[in-house]
Chains A and B, each alone.
Chain A
Amino acid sequence: SQQGEEDPQALSIQEGENATMNCSYKTSINNLQWYRQNSGRGLVHLILIRSNEREKHSGRLRVTLDTSKKSSSLLITASRAADTASYFCATVPDDKIIFGKGTRLHILP
């Protein structure tokens, strides 16, 4: 079963714009991670946020976590063509890492 649900399922924006995608989950978690997957490739870790953190930054990435709403958001600022990929949130409810269905992001030139 999948714990996290990303929203939207697909997103197309112009290069240079900001992209925001959301993840909602069902049960309490220890931490939440975001991964990127380019077409035909494996997943790459982007950022981890712990349950006692509310916001975290890494380069052009900003992640927020609201444990009361059981949701997280990933913001990519100043998008580039290379950001075109699928983005997955991964939650850790107990002793395993569970991925959502992902958001497919397409950056238009």
Chain B
Amino acid sequence: EAGVAQSPRYKIIEKRQSVAFWCNPISGHATLYWYQQILGQGPKLLIQFQNNGVVDDSQLPKDRFSAERLKGVDSTLKIQPAKLEDSAVYLCASSLEWAGGTGELFFGEGSRLTVL
């Protein structure tokens, strides 16, 4: 079974530039999550999709971050314009279904962003 695919693995940009990350979840997984993980900290939920609908985006900085999951399959996370504090690993995860949070989350390898 193929895992969660993310790209690019690494990205270095200047502040105020834009960047996009792509995620392809495990086939058949209805729930997709984007987490931000700053070095030395735990993952912080940015946005959660159920199929192509947003379940929670309360911690997504909407003035600069956007995410979409067209057709309920793969997803993109965009940052525009980037700030220094956006330097982090962006993790995508998927689960078969929400099921009250009892579903196991499967994570991709992450996309490491460095903003200079």
A residues near B (Cβ < 8 Å) are 2, 4, 30-31, 33, 35, 40-45, 48, 50, 88, 90, 92, 95-102
Contacts and interface: CB of A to CB of B under 8 A. Distances in A.
A92 B45 contact: no
Given A33-B105, A48-B102, 18 more contacts: A30-B102, A31-B101, A40-B109, A41-B109, A42-B107, A42-B108, A42-B109, A43-B93, A48-B104, A50-B102, A88-B42, A88-B43, A95-B55, A95-B98, A97-B105, A101-B41, A101-B42, A102-B41
Interface string B39-52: 01111110010000
A95 B109 contact: no
Contact of A2 (B33, B44, B48, B93): B44
Size bracket, chain B contacts: 20 to 34
Contacts of A33: 104-105
Contact of B33 (A4, A41, A97, A100): A97
A101 B44 CA distance: 9
A102 B105 contact: no
